[in-house]
Amino acid sequence: MRQRVGELSDLKPNWDGEVAKPVKAPVLGDAVEFLRRLTQRTSNFREPFLVPTFDGFIQIEWHDKKRALEIEAVGEGWSVVGALTGKDGNRLYFDAECERSDFEQLGKFYEWFAGNELIWPSQ
The sign one gets for the Cα dihedral 57, 61, 104, 122 is positive
Whether the per-residue pLDDT at 111 is higher than 80: the answer is yes
Predicted local distance difference test score (pLDDT) of residue 44 = 86
Q: What is the mean pLDDT of residues 4-19?
A: 94
Nearest alpha-carbon partner for 74 in 92, 95, 91: 95
Ramachandran region of residue 16, left (φ > 0), alpha (ψ -120 to 50) or beta? alpha
Report whether 60 contacts 70 (CB < 8 A).
Answer: yes
Q: Which helix (H) or strand (E) holds 79?
A: strand 77-85
